[in-house]
Amino acid sequence: MSWVRWSCYDANYEEPQLDKDYPKPLEEMTEEQELGWDLRTTQIFKAAPAPKTSSWFEDPVINEFTNMMIKEGNKIVARSLMTETLEILRKKRYKKHHAVIAKEWEATEFTSYTIFHQALENCQPVLGLVSTLKGSRFYRVPDPLGDRCPCFLAMKWMVQEHQENKQMLMLENSCITKDLPHLRPCGQEEA
């Protein structure tokens, strides 16, 4: 038994394999794949870490976005808000999808995951400002961002936008705005 950083697994245990791909039928496998599959069914594996899963719905970008949404350490609420948001996206997309002509039927994407990823990609900046020293003065100069920084900034901006406009969205969507004219935005009149 090796006790390395609270590990209670000895050398016989293999690392967990979190494959999302299901195996082929045995008739389609080569001999090497069959032997590997037989060996995999008899080996002893370590337990998978808590955030890792082999579910098709597990997405590292959505998990990272959920972690950025957390307020006061309540991850359960943030995760439920994210799943509700993805469900609303899916429902709205289905409504649009059924309104589309049959020719464009195949061309439309209506999974909430692809819509979320596309929205995140559209929000990503390309350039950032970097301070450079010229003489005795600092100047802010545009510079291309790294690999992870644009995604982080896009997530941060989406969360900030939601927090800033949460009250306005609640007022627009509630039935109180239909009943009370003084809560309507300027320029809107009763129908």
DSSP 8-state class, residue 67: H
Query: pLDDT value at position 137?
Result: 94
Cα 42 from Cα 65, distance rounded (Å)? 37
CB 52 within 8 A of CB 16: yes
Please name each of the domains of the chain with its CATH number: 1-54 (no CATH), 60-164 (1.10.455.10)
Residue 22's nearest CA partner among 61, 62, 55 is: 55
Cα 186 from Cα 156, distance rounded (Å)? 30
Query: pLDDT value at position 150?
Result: 92
Query: pLDDT value at position 103?
Result: 59
Query: pLDDT value at position 183?
Result: 38
Name the stretches of the chain with pLDDT < 50.
2, 174-191
Cα 82 from Cα 123, distance rounded (Å)? 18
